[in-house]
Structure 1
Amino acid sequence: MEGRAGVQNRASQVSSKSCGLKKKDKFRIIKRLKSQYPIRELCFVACVSRSGFYKFLKATDKESDGDHALVQCMRAIQTETSLTYGYRRMKIAIEAQLHYPVNHKRIARLQKANDLQAVIRRKRFNYPKSSFVIEGAKPNILNRNFIAEKPNQKWVTDITYLQSGSQRLYMSALLDLYNNELVAYRISSDFGIAFVLETIKDAFAHRLTENLLIHSDQGGHYMSLAYSNLLSEKRAIQSMSRRGNCWDNAVMENFFSHLKSELIHRIKPKTREELEEKIRKYVDFYNKERIQTKLKMAPVAYRSHFSQTA
């Protein structure tokens, strides 16, 4: 059997490894070596108390149990949301379920360690040039003031492309800046003006508005005479981003980025029918269930809360 001197010589690994380390780091080394050497000798060499080490063990075991519960909760949330939550939304969702605060760094660490991180977004596509009767650009009235005090005060709109098998489709959408709710959208295989105008008409068909501001970029659809006339007919105020400045319409860009990373790039739809059905479900999920970091709840729930407290 190994004598005390031999144990101390071998346990001196702790001393050399722990030189300049914090007490918790020394405890971690002792924990790693405790199956090989007596805890008494390891603590002696590391110049820490056994009682302190046992308190550390108890705390880490408790944390390990807590981590396991958090990971199970994360896994369920990411399954429901198709791996779309980063650590910020995950923190909100977990705290809503477990009813106690959780550090965001702990959530990020556990997501990384357990392969539960959100899917990374992809870059945007350059669109074909449009040929419409152009009226011209409008002033940037929105001016990056993305905060709305009530529903249907400020809407933003844009167009994105969607790949379905070998077919390229286009999506026009309108978003309410009050709660980031998708108000209306249309999908088309034709890049013409019609599907953009229909998106506007769909939105006004089920929303009551007054002095509504609608902001877009300087795409041909939005500078067209037909679009300008329609907004005038609906008594809406038209606003446009500065030329080539995507940040002026960042909220709409952000929605399309989420749509593609959380849905399109993952399912890779083979047909238009499949794509439209998946988008319909995603929009329903986005509006009614998906937590908005800024709001701490889903858009429809936030709007409902407003109507009850107004």
Structure 2
Amino acid sequence: MAIAYPAEFRRDVVAVARKREAPFSQIAKDFGISDATIHAWVKRADIEDGARPGVTQADQAELREAKKRIRLLEQENEILRRAAAYLSQGVAPKMMFPLVRELAADRIPVAVTCRVLGFSKQAFYKWVRNPVPARDWDNAHLVNAAIDIHDSDPAFGYRFIADEIEDESGIRASERRVWRLCSEHRVWSVFSKKRGLNRKAGPPVHDDLVERDFTASRVDELWLTDITEHWTDEGKLYLCAIKDVCSNRIVGYSIDSRMTASLAVSALRNAAWLRHPYGTVLHSDRGSQFRSRKFVETLREYGITGSMGRVGACGDNAAMESFFSLLQKNVLNKHRWHTREQLRLAIVVWIERTYHRRRRQRRLGRLTPIEFETIQKATLAA
């Protein structure tokens, strides 16, 4: 192993050797070093004093510093080049940390990269220890749950999503937090009034299989459905009804204080539970409740074929509108309703007692819907 002799010792040996009072071999023996070492020291001393051509130690140090500076400039230039390409993709500044890790893999020091990009090494190593904070992880789950809830019912805004999200994801979140996340990811209700949003109706999920031909040869062949709203002193009450075209009977309905996809799904399940249909065509308008994922899945579950009319064409569902017109005249316009429960009971009583069992219809041969279905079933059985 090479011995690092003190500088003062080397100077003394060189001074003795330059006097030429003894050969180098004798001087080397006297000082306990080799002949080659003495020759090297003398040569280096002559170069430093200018007596022999060569590169001095000062020049070597300056050359090393210049090479170091050049290498550092090359690293900084590479960092800036890679950072420009990284930022051109629209990446948020906090996501520059992966670039630091990539550059470190290419043998560019972390300290240099952090200094050029303008953040501390401590921040980078903190991110390395925990790349995804718990808050961001929870927010990601909340956003996924919010999108699922909104897809199942496009009418849901951030308030309804905030009400449902704890049951869906198991994460408790304030309404303000849900609003912020929904705004960032553009999760808005289809009824949003914001400028530039929802200018066009959503695409139909079914073709128009009825084309305004509201006739059917048997019960449960063609159903119609729609949603109407009614005012009370407590607020609005929404009714989703399903009507059989053959008998004009309301085969299923649901009443709630909110117009959501669950309202339409509940009415459909009630109708399917009472009638057990298969191959029935259910015609509706292009409302968001009837385009929701829950409603479409329920149709598929009971083997019902969906059908949809055009946007803004009331005539495409005129037979259902006629029923709501009767309801308006016979129940809603009679007097002012103070509570939702009063109006709900009035609607149910009118449908089940008056419309189904007392109100005779000329199209049915002056029979009520219940009488018409009873006779038809007996005829089919015979």
TM-score, normalised relative to structure 2: 0.46
Aligned-partner Cα distance in 2 for 1:197–1:184: 10
Aligned counterparts, 1:80-91, within 5 A: none
The answer to whether the 8 A contact 1:135-1:225 is kept is no
Aligned-partner Cα distance in 1 for 2:336–2:376: 37
Superposed displacement of residue 298, structure 1: 0.8
Superposed displacement of residue 267, structure 1: 2.9
Greater relative contact order, per chain length (Cα 8 Å cut-off, separation 6+): 1
Q: Per residue, is there more helix in 1 or in 2?
A: 2
Q: 2:280 aligns with which of 171, 195, 212?
A: 212
Counterpart of 1:267 in structure 2: which amino acid? H
Aligned-partner Cα distance in 2 for 1:179–1:212: 14
Q: 2:207 aligns with which of 139, 142, 167?
A: 139
Superposed displacement of residue 270, structure 1: 1.1
Structure 2: give runs of 5+ residues left out of the alignment: 1-188, 193-201
SS at match of 1:275: helix
Aligned equivalent of 1:301: 371
SS at match of 2:317: helix
Larger radius of gyration: 2
Superposed displacement of residue 143, structure 1: 1.1
Deviates more, 1:135-144 or 1:146-155: 135-144
The answer to whether the 8 A contact 2:239-2:255 is kept is yes
The answer to whether the 8 A contact 2:278-2:302 is kept is no
Aligned counterparts, 1:239-258, within 5 A: 239-258=307-326
SS at match of 1:261: helix
Asked if 1:289 is matched to 2:343, the reply is no
Superposed displacement of residue 248, structure 1: 0.9
Counterpart of 1:273 in structure 2: which amino acid? E
Aligned equivalent of 2:327: 259
Q: Could you give the per-residue CA deviations for residues 275-294 of structure 1, whole angstroms, max 9, x where no partner exists?
A: 11111110011011111121
Aligned-partner Cα distance in 2 for 1:192–1:299: 29
Aligned equivalent of 2:219: 151
Superposed displacement of residue 221, structure 1: 0.8
Q: Could you give the per-residue CA deviations for residues 193-223 of structure 1, whole angstroms, max 9, x where no partner exists?
A: 1111111111111112121000000111111
Aligned equivalent of 2:262: 194
Q: 1:203 aligns with which of 257, 271, 281?
A: 271
| Dislocated runs of 4+, deviation >4 Å | 128-131
Aligned counterparts, 1:70-81, within 5 A: none
Aligned counterparts, 1:105-120, within 5 A: none
Counterpart of 1:303 in structure 2: which amino acid? E
Report how many residues are paired.
182
Aligned-partner Cα distance in 1 for 2:298–2:226: 16
Aligned-partner Cα distance in 2 for 1:224–1:273: 27
Aligned-partner Cα distance in 1 for 2:275–2:248: 15
Task: Report sequence identity in percent.
Answer: 29
Taking only aligned residues, the RMSD between alpha carbons, in angstroms, comes to 1.9
Aligned equivalent of 2:235: 167
Aligned-partner Cα distance in 1 for 2:379–2:336: 42
Aligned-partner Cα distance in 1 for 2:287–2:357: 30
Asked if 1:225 is matched to 2:288, the reply is no
The answer to whether the 8 A contact 1:211-1:237 is kept is yes
Q: Could you give the per-residue CA deviations for residues 40-94 of structure 1, whole angstroms, max 9, x where no partner exists?
A: xxxxxxxxxxxxxxxxxxxxxxxxxxxxxxxxxxxxxxxxxxxxxxxxxxxxxxx
